[in-house]
């Protein structure tokens, strides 16, 4: 149904713009009914299984996977951008202290703004594609350094300077812990980061593109995206999925705990997704990553997954509910030694590359994103009352 008011045609759309196509993109897509998603023309899961994070970063920024020489050059280029400007490093203790219980993700919003100013980022509207590309690389390379430094400062530890000889994922773990990680852990985190680089027009990606459509600088676009990600309905579930495992506790409590929640209509964290009506392909891949480590925690998670699906089939026949990416992401990050308060920031350390690709694509379109809202208040105009 359409309603004409003041020569503006308003069109009814679903709440939250669900299913509404708002633009064209070549970055990637999610095909939820098929249980498949891709970055450009490649399966995202296959990329996570076979390529490095830097290769996939190159794909999203340049539109193609690099050969061996191109990959090495890109790794060297981005690794050289990890160190922070002196002005930003000097401000991090104050930012970490002010962030308090909000943590590194909140602090990163301020730090990204400062980084953009220190690096002289200009509005994407005013610079050429090469300048935009440079700014996204500078910002994305700095995000793991910012997050690790803010975490360590918040814990009363000195920041660890980045190393250029380590991969993106290994360097991130090194800066968090102060020790070079085992290859198995570095690869597991790398696969997680690759699997979550991009995922359609989620809230944070859309926010980044809205800000980019105004012509703002790259740092402003990323700050908007981080703000959207900070909401618990978007980026806060990996640690909550682990809370589910903790609440169940032991194998003998699985069935009664699940039955109670299902019958009460409660949400089971780590299950269900707004897009997928089949198994989340990211969850399937991360389950395999977790099972490479093995151990009681992994076995318990797999059994919880199996029983949730079985009990739902019994109590709610026809209802499709499978594990989402957060369920096994939490297990994998825990196995790799990441503290729970760093689960969502770690997600941001990968997603910043997807945001960057979308910012670059949006910046090439000079049309500002400017939807309208339907006014449903008291009918206007009403005379303004006079003050006696």
pLDDT(81) > 50:
yes
The pTM (predicted TM-score) of the whole model is: 0.91
Give yes or no: residues 43 and 188 share one domain: yes
In a domain, 33, yes or no: no
Give yes or no: residues 170 and 226 share one domain: yes
Token pair of 72 as six digits: 């090495």
pLDDT(193) > 90:
yes
pLDDT(269) > 60:
yes
pLDDT(235) > 80:
no
Give yes or no: residues 275 and 199 share one domain: no
Q: Which of 273, 305, 322, 334 is catalytic?
A: 273
Give yes or no: residues 200 and 247 share one domain: no
Mean pLDDT over each residue of the chain, to the nearest integer: 91
Give yes or no: residues 88 and 176 share one domain: yes
Label residue 100 exposed, middle or buried (CB < 10 Å: 0-12, 13-18, 19+).
Answer: exposed
Q: Which of 54, 305, 326, 334 is catalytic?
A: 326
How many domains is the chain built from?
Answer: 2
d(CA 124, CA 135): 9
In a domain, 14, yes or no: no
Q: Which residue has the tokens 């149904």?
A: 1
Quote the domain boundaries for residue 326.
237-335
pLDDT(343) > 80:
yes
Report the DSSP beta bridge partners of residue 271: 323
pLDDT value of position 2: 37
pLDDT value of position 237: 62
pLDDT(324) > 80:
no
Cβ 225 vs Cβ 208: under 8 Å: yes
Which of 63-72, 230-239, 309-318 is the most confident on average?
63-72
Instruction: Categorize the per-residue pLDDT at 21 as very low, low, confident or very high, splitting at 50, 70 and 90.
Output: confident
In a domain, 221, yes or no: yes
pLDDT value of position 4: 40
In a domain, 125, yes or no: yes
Q: Which residues lie below 8 Å from residue 179, measured CB to CB, with a gap of 6+? A: none
pLDDT value of position 272: 65
In a domain, 17, yes or no: no
In a domain, 305, yes or no: yes
pLDDT(1) > 50:
no
> Between 109 and 280, whose confidence is greater?
109
Mean of pLDDT values over 308-329: 80
Q: Residues 110-122: pLDDT tens digits?
A: 999 999 999 999 9
Instruction: Categorize the per-residue pLDDT at 28 as very low, low, confident or very high, splitting at 50, 70 and 90.
Output: very high
pLDDT above 90 covers a percentage of the chain that reads: 70
273 is catalytic: yes
In a domain, 15, yes or no: no
pLDDT(198) > 90:
yes
In a domain, 345, yes or no: no
Give yes or no: residues 58 and 193 share one domain: yes
Q: Residues 277-296: pLDDT tens digits?
A: 677 888 889 999 999 999 99
Instruction: Categorize the per-residue pLDDT at 91 as very low, low, confident or very high, splitting at 50, 70 and 90.
Output: very high
pLDDT(153) > 70:
yes
d(CA 279, CA 192): 17
Cβ 108 vs Cβ 345: under 8 Å: yes
CATH code of the domain in which 271 resides: 1.10.230.10
């Amino acid at each position: 149904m359409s309603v004409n008011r003041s020569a503006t045609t308003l069109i009814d759309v679903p709440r939250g713009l669900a299913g509404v196509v708002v633009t064209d993109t070549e970055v990637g897509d999610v095909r939820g009914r098929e249980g498949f998603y891709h970055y450009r023309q490649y399966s995202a899961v296959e990329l996570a299984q076979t390529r490095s994070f830097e290769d996939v970063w190159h794909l999203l920024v340049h539109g193609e996977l690099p050969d061996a020489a191109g990959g090495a050059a890109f790794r060297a280029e981005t690794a050289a951008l990890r160190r922070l400007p002196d002005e930003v490093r000097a401000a991090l203790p104050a930012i970490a202290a002010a962030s308090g219980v909000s943590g590194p993700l909140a602090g990163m919003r301020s730090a990204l703004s400062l980084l953009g100013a220190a690096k002289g980022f200009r509005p994407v509207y005013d610079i050429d594609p090469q300048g935009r590309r440079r700014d996204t690389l500078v910002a994305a390379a700095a995000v793991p350094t910012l997050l690790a430094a803010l975490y360590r400062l918040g814990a009363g530890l000195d920041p660890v300077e980045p190393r250029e000889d380590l991969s993106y994922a290994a360097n991130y773990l090194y800066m968090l812990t102060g020790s070079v990680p085992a290859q198995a852990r570095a690869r597991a985190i790398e696969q997680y980061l690759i699997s979550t680089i991009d995922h359609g027009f989620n809230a944070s990606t859309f926010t980044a593109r809205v800000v980019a459509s105004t012509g703002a600088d790259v740092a402003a676009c990323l700050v908007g995206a981080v703000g959207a990600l900070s909401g618990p309905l978007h980026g806060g579930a990996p640690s909550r999925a682990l809370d589910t495992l903790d609440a169940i506790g032991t194998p003998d409590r699985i069935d009664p705990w699940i039955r109670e929640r299902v019958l009460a209509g409660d949400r089971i964290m780590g299950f269900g997704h707004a897009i997928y009506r089949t198994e989340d392909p990211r969850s399937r891949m991360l389950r395999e990553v977790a099972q490479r480590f093995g151990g009681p925690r992994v076995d318990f998670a797999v059994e919880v997954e199996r029983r949730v699906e079985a009990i739902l089939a019994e109590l709610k026949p026809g209802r499709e509910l499978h594990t989402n990416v957060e369920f096994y992401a939490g297990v994998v990050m825990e196995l790799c030694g990441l503290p729970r308060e760093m689960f969502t920031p770690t997600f941001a350390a990968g997603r910043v590359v997807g945001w960057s690709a979308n910012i670059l694509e949006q910046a090439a379109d000079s049309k500002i994103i400017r939807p309208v809202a339907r006014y449903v208040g008291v009918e206007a105009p009403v005379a303004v009352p006079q003050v006696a």
